[in-house]
Amino acid sequence: MKKNLSYIDSVHREGTIWNLTVMVLLMAFPVAVALVFDAAPDWGALVMGLVATAPMYWTVGAIEVLTYVPMLGAGGSYLSFVTGNISNLKLPCALNALEQNGVSANSEEGELISTIAIATSSIVTTVIIIIGVICIVPLTPILEAEILTPAFAQMLPALFGGLGVAFVSRNWKLALAPVSLMLVLFIFVPALNAGTVGIMVPVSVLFTLGTARILYKKGVL
């Protein structure tokens, strides 16, 4: 007799299957292109490049799992790692949905809400991309107009600014330390840029946890 899996067990099973499937498909594409067009890479250069960059991505990947899973829940995490763009899109959508419903990601309600929010975000993103691909040619003159350039440059700051105000206002004492740290680092360390966000988000989370513990021990929180 087939044993019925609980919701969370089924999430882990399906999530593992889909993550492994996507990994195989992503690796299969460059292999297929190389075979079809007889364009094999320079294996020596490829290995040297991987030696220089892969350890960083492995480290970031491991840290992101530890950082994002408690905030997104199991289902939301599997879905986010398959669809990508976590810090810029999936995480804000999930946190906003959890905030609006007053639940945490590690509760049963939060698990479902986070997964639904991330799935909706993925579907909306895909639809917008399809529309964008269809309309890109007729809309190019409008999108490239100089008058719109400042607006496009402020889209991400506006998104995270709105979310930041909502979360900072909940506990400004706790938010002050990580916000100050990131401002100092990004202002005075030129090497930090948009490409280092994947590393700095986990760093900020760990720093915030440490700060929260200290403030709690001192009775500030």
pLDDT bucket at 198, cuts 50 / 70 / 90 = low
Of 106-120, 145-159, 193-207, least confident by mean pLDDT is 193-207
- Determine the pLDDT at residue 59: 75
Write down the pLDDT at residue 3: 58
Buried b / exposed e over 10-29, threshold 16 CB at 10 Å, is ebeeebeeeeeeeeeeeeee
Q: What is the pLDDT of residue 130?
A: 92
Residue 21: pLDDT band with limits 50, 70, 90: very high
Q: How far is the C-alpha of 75 from the C-alpha of 44, rounded, in Å? A: 39
Number of H helices, E strands in the chain: 8, 0
Whether the pLDDT of residue 45 is over 70: the answer is yes
pLDDT digits (tens, 9 = 90+) for 164-175: 776 777 778 888
Q: What is the pLDDT of residues 61-83, one digit of tens each?
A: 787 788 788 888 888 899 988 88
Of the candidates 158, 166, 185, 170, the residue with the CA atom closest to the CA atom of residue 88: 158
Q: Is the pLDDT of residue 56 over 80?
A: no
Query: pLDDT class for 1, splitting at 50, 70, 90?
Result: very low
Residue 101's CB: how many other CB atoms inside 10 A?
Answer: 14
CA distance 206 to 64: 11
pTM of the shown model:
0.65
End-to-end CA distance of the chain: 53
pLDDT at 28: 92
Per the listing, tokens 């639940």 go with: 103
Summarize pLDDT for 84-121 with one digit per residue, the tens. Answer: 888 778 888 888 888 888 888 778 888 889 999 999 99
- The percent of residues in the chain predicted with pLDDT above 90, rounded, is 11
Domain boundaries, the chain: 7-170
- Selection from 8, 175, 179, 163 nearest residue 99 by Cα: 163
Selection from 107, 110, 61 nearest residue 81 by Cα: 61
If we measure between CA atoms, which residue out of 129, 44, 52, 48 comes closest to residue 84? 129
Q: Give me the pLDDT at residue 71, please.
A: 84
Residue 194 has pLDDT above 70, yes or no: no
Q: Could you give the CA distance from residue 220 to residue 211 in angstroms, rounded to a whole number?
A: 11
3-state secondary structure of 122: helix
Mean pLDDT, the chain, as a whole number?
A: 83
Tell me: pLDDT of 57 over 70: yes
